[in-house]
Amino acid sequence: MSDQLLAELAQAADLSIDWVDAYGKPQSVTPEAQRNLLEALGYPAQSPEQIRESLTSLVHRQHVPEDSNLLLQDQGLPLALSLYPAESPYRLTDEQGNVSEGRLDQDGRLPPQQQLGYYQLEIRDTRHALAVAPQACLSVQELCGKPRIWGLTAQLYGLRRAGDGGLGDTLAVADLARHAANHGADAIGLSPVHAQFSPNLHSNGPYWRSSRLFLNSLYAARVTPLGEERGRRAVKAEGPQGETRLPEALTATGWPWGWRAGRRQLRAHYEYTQHA
C-alpha cells in the first residue's frame, strides 16, 4: 500500500500527520493510525483502491458545496465558489433581512463582505448559509495597547476566606484581583461559574453545569448585600450555625455540604430582607 497516497488522503481530510514534539524531534502519525482515523471519519482506507475512491469522493465534496452547507468567508476577502460559473448572479440576505444582489467575479468568487455575521446566500437554485468572520483574532496589542500582558489563573472554589461557606466566592476574587493589580497583573482567569444543579446536591462539581445562560448564585458573596452584622443576624435567625461552618473546616472542598449551607444562607438573607 502506498503510504504517500494514504498521506494525501489524510491531508485532504485535514488530519495533521507530522509535528515536532516538545523535545524538538520530528514525529509522524503511523500509517496504521492514519487508516484508523480515516475510517472513523467515514473514508475507507484499507487498500489502494479504497484510498483512491475516498480521495476522489473527498475532493469532489470539497468542491461541490451541498445545499444549506455553511460557507465561511474572511471579512474583506473574496470567497472562491468553484462550483458556479463566472459572473453567476447571487442574492445575499443579512441577519436584519437586508438584501443585496450582484454577480460573482470573473474567477467565480463572491465579492468581499465587510459586515460580520450570518447571511443567506442564494446562487441559481441553491441556498447556503454564509458566515463572515474576522481574518484573525484581536491581538494583545490591539486589545490592551501593549504587546505583552500577564495574569493569574485560579479555581474560584480554592480562593478561601472566612465566611465563604467553604467554596470561595466573588469577594475572594475581588481580594485576589486587588492584590494582583498591585503587583502589575493585567488579568485573572477563573474556573467556570455557570449555574449548577440546585435540586440535586450530589450532581454538583466545579466543572458541571446545567446552563451556560446563568451563573452559579452560590459563588455570590452572601454577606455583602446586607452588611457583615446584618448578614450574621439573618443566618442566625434561621437556626444553628454548625452546617454553615462545616464546609469551611474541611481540608478538601465539600461540595454537597457547601451547596446545602450556601443555599441555606441565601434563603436566610432573602427571608430577612422580606421581613426586616
Model confidence at 253, in pLDDT bands (50, 70, 90)? low
More confident: 229 or 216: 216
**Within a 10 A sphere around the Cβ of 212, how many other Cβ atoms?**
9
**Within a 10 A sphere around the Cβ of 26, how many other Cβ atoms?**
8
Model confidence at 196, in pLDDT bands (50, 70, 90)? confident
155/175 Cα distance (integer angstroms)? 14
| Residue 89 DSSP symbol | E
Determine which of 3-12, 217-226, 233-242 has the lowest per-residue pLDDT on average.
Answer: 233-242
113/108 Cα distance (integer angstroms)? 15
Which residues does 245 contact at the CB level (< 8 Å), separation at least 6? none
More confident: 243 or 19: 19
pLDDT per residue as tens digits for the range 1-17: 578 889 999 988 889 99
pLDDT at residue 12 in the model: 86
pLDDT at residue 138 in the model: 87
254/249 Cα distance (integer angstroms)? 10
Helix, strand, coil % over all residues of the chain, rounded to 5: 35, 20, 45
Model confidence at 209, in pLDDT bands (50, 70, 90)? low
Tell me the residue type at 6. Answer: L
pLDDT per residue as tens digits for the range 257-271: 677 777 777 777 777
Model confidence at 198, in pLDDT bands (50, 70, 90)? low
pLDDT at residue 242 in the model: 42
pLDDT at residue 186 in the model: 93
pLDDT per residue as tens digits for the range 60-79: 666 555 545 789 999 999 99
pLDDT at residue 93 in the model: 95
Helices then strands, each counted (H, E), the chain: 8, 13
Q: Is the pLDDT of residue 232 over 70?
A: no
Q: Is the pLDDT of residue 200 over 70?
A: no
pLDDT at residue 14 in the model: 85
pLDDT at residue 228 in the model: 57
Model confidence at 103, in pLDDT bands (50, 70, 90)? very high
pLDDT at residue 190 in the model: 92
Question: Mean pLDDT score of the chain, rounded to an integer?
Answer: 81
More confident: 45 or 194: 45
Q: Is the pLDDT of residue 240 over 50?
A: no
Q: What is the rounded average pLDDT of the residues 173-199?
A: 89
